[in-house]
């Protein structure tokens, strides 16, 4: 370090776009970098690209810089003393702004809504509490599709009234609405800012939430690794929930190793050791590959430029051909349950379940806030109606999904019928693994596979 150089000045060669958490941890261990320098560099990347530069609008809030540096300095001092809390000690993470952070860290939890901009939560969500204990630095709160995509119809993924429109760092010219509501320029949602933030070098790690694709799809569009853990193994205490049946906390990163280390922290079972499964080998895996022509978004949802689908299919089949000689078994194509089979009489099973479960979850969250201008779903809807200039702008005037959760609640009989139907479809899916003698099914992510995963991953203890 040169004379007069601040100990917090970050190395100019630090490549935040490519380095994953494990590589950053190696630099920290080798004393080539400090956590304080890393935090400084991440904040500078946010300042240069979020409302300037590429104008990504991936972030809603960060704590005061001096507060973050103080936390980082503490972790750096622990490292010097030989106290390493774990493999993510001193590494920054961003979390979706539907996940509560303690008010002492000077960030609100808004879910992207002005109605909650002045609200105060009681403390950290359980997952944030576990991250802090493991020495992970909460760098900021990321933008999202408002209320986790459960505010209104025809709202572009990644838009919230508080955060504006998140855009992809990979797409020049912004969003092209002529390619459909799920076209390739759409950054995916609802954990949009978390994915874009990692891709843009704001942080090597991020948390999102997922009901039906809200972590996996934006991570896919941002060229990241992501995992949606099994329903129920990661606490959802302290988050804005849509559904007790489907909601999970998802993780995003630049490597599978980083995801394993994150899961090791987040999963409630302290005996779970996910890093040990990183064998870096296909030798013991038996894989079934789905047909990419069968598993793709419909043209009504996504119609990319000519040649894009062919390119995606070619890359998928190339991966299959490279894995085939390395794996214990590869079978192609494997026919699996189609997502349309999840629905009943042409109606979405997901929205039936969510409309039944959402109202009580929203009421409970709002009623348990320390301070809030709204205390129920009904009050939230009325607040939006009273503040249309903030919450119902001309481009996105709808809060139809909030209203449906209040006024169109399915009967318990209809709800239980859907739950029973989803369970039957899940049994059919499980039978495919046995009949084909496979461990994993590989499916293109730009499809409705997340719906199938959500239905099969839920627990069936909620039916009454």
So which residues are the catalytic ones?
96, 190, 214
| Distance (Å, whole) CA 22 – CA 357 | 39
- The residues near 325 (Cβ < 8 Å, ≥ 6 apart) are none
CA distance 413 to 311: 46
Q: Are 155 and 182 in contact (CB under 8 A)?
A: no
C-alpha dihedral over 435, 440, 442, 445, to 10 degrees? Answer: 120
- Return the residue matching tokens 């009623």: 367
- Note the residue count of the chain: 464
* Measured distance CA(229)–CA(189) in Å, rounded: 18
| Chain-centre distance for alpha carbon 20 | 17
C-alpha separations of 339 from 37, 149, 219, 342, 394 in Å: 47, 20, 21, 6, 33
Reference 147, options 114, 101, 188, 186; nearest CA is 114
Q: In whole angstroms, what is the distance from residue 413 CA to residue 248 CA? A: 25
CA distance 378 to 395: 23
Query: 100: left (phi > 0), else alpha (psi -120 to 50), else beta?
Result: beta
């Amino acid at each position: 370090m040169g004379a007069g150089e601040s100990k917090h000045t970050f190395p100019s060669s630090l490549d935040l776009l490519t380095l994953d958490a494990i590589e950053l941890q190696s630099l920290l261990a080798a004393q080539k970098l400090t956590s304080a320098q890393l935090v400084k560099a991440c904040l500078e990347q946010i300042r240069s690209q979020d409302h300037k530069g590429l104008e990504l609008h991936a972030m809603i809030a960060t704590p005061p810089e001096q507060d973050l540096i103080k936390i980082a300095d503490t972790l750096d001092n622990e490292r010097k003393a030989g106290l390493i809390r774990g493999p993510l000690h001193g590494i920054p993470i961003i979390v979706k702004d539907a996940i509560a952070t303690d008010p002492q860290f000077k960030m609100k939890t808004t879910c992207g809504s002005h109605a909650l901009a002045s609200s105060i939560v009681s403390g950290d969500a359980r997952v944030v509490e576990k991250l802090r204990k493991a020495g992970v630095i909460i760098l900021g709160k990321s933008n999202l599709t408002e209320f986790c995509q459960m505010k209104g119809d025809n709202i572009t993924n990644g838009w919230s009234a508080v955060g504006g429109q998140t855009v992809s760092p990979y797409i020049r010219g912004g969003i092209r609405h002529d390619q459909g509501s799920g076209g390739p320029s759409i950054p995916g949602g609802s954990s949009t800012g978390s994915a874009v933030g990692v891709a843009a070098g704001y942080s090597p790690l991020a948390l999102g939430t997922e009901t039906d694709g809200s972590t996996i799809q934006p991570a896919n569009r941002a060229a990241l690794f992501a995992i949606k853990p099994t329903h129920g193994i990661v606490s959802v205490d302290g988050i804005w929930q849509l559904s007790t049946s489907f909601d999970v906390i998802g993780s995003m990163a630049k490597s599978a190793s980083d995801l394993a280390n994150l899961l090791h922290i987040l999963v409630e079972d302290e005996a779970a050791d996910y890093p040990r499964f990183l064998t870096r080998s296909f030798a013991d895996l038996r894989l079934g590959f789905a047909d990419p022509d069968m598993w793709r978004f419909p043209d009504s949802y996504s119609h990319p430029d000519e040649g894009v689908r062919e390119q995606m299919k070619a890359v998928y089949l190339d991966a299959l051909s490279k894995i085939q000689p390395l794996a214990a078994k590869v079978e192609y194509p494997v026919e699996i349950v189609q997502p349309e089979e999840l629905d009943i009489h042409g109606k979405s099973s997901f929205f039936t379940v969510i409309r039944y479960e959402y109202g009580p979850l929203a009421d409970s969250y709002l009623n348990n806030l320390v301070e809030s201008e709204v205390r129920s779903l009904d009050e939230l809807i009325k607040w939006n109606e009273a503040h249309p200039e903030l919450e119902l702008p001309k481009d996105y005037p709808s809060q139809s999904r909030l209203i449906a959760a209040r006024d169109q609640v399915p009967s318990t009989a209809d709800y239980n019928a859907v739950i029973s139907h989803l369970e039957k479809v899940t049994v059919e899916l499980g039978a495919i693994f046995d009949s084909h003698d496979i461990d994993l099914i590989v499916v293109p992510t730009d499809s409705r596979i997340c719906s199938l995963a959500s239905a099969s991953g839920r627990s069936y203890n909620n039916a009454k």
